[in-house]
Chains A and B, each alone.
Chain A
Amino acid sequence: QVQLQESGPGLVKPSQTLSLTCTVSGGSISSGSYYWSWIRQPAGKGLEWIGRIYTSGSTNYNPSLKSRVTISVDTSKNQFSLKLSSVTAADTAVYYCARVQGGGLAPFDYWGQGTLVTVSS
């Protein structure tokens, strides 16, 4: 059974860089045809896709966040990571990591439990 777990600071200062890691257990992050994604959800609001990284290392980002987002993978640790630069209060949200199995139009079949990141001085 695949499990995903987000980790990282729960509080980030404005203008700084938000950094989160998703650890994958129960399977190799580099085997198979998977997209590893980040999705966020401000309190009381809907879901916003941030971006994804493919098993090969190629990435796709939400155009609205593209200039500030970097997603990378560390296969030796079975982890992938999110960096979001120049954060503001609008980036306060629960951040989820999730897996897509198969093609880019496949659904998110496994999710982490989510981690709350607050942007505040």
Chain B
Amino acid sequence: DIQLTQSPSFLSASVGDRVTITCRASQGISSYLAWYQQKPGKAPKLLIYAASTLQSGVPSRFSGSGSGTEFTLTISSLQPEDFATYYCQHAGTFGQGTKVEIK
């Protein structure tokens, strides 16, 4: 089974910071990776799919890259509404999550 490992698990950042989250797959998954944002008490929201394609309506400060086994989610300038937990996903597997908190 494919495993996804996110790093870091926790990230403290300030508004305006550039933030990068990494997701590593235990074996190659081509570009079949998605990223989600989850806020407390809410369902996850799809941000990026196919590693780098921005879901409709998602702000352009979010971007994704990578293929094979290493992927990144980047927020170019962190906004107050971006403080949340982020998950990567491939098929039936999710990463363990990265919580982004206010510094």
Contacts and interface: CB of A to CB of B under 8 A. Distances in A.
Interface in A103-117: 104-109, 111-114
B43 A105 contact: no
B43 A113 contact: yes
A115 to B, nearest CB: 11
B8 interface: no
A112 B42 CA distance: 9
27 contacts: A46-B95, A46-B96, A47-B44, A47-B87, A47-B89, A47-B94, A48-B94, A49-B93, A52-B92, A63-B1, A98-B43, A104-B91, A105-B32, A105-B90, A105-B91, A106-B49, A107-B46, A108-B36, A108-B44, A109-B46, A109-B49, A111-B43, A111-B44, A112-B43, A113-B42, A113-B43, A114-B43
B97 A46 contact: yes
Interface residues of B, number: 21
B34 interface: yes
Given A46-B95, A105-B90, 6 more contacts: A47-B44, A49-B92, A105-B91, A111-B45, A112-B43, A113-B42
Contacts of B49: 106-107, 109
Interface in B33-65: 34, 36, 42-46, 49, 55
Contacts of A106: 49
Contacts of A62: 92
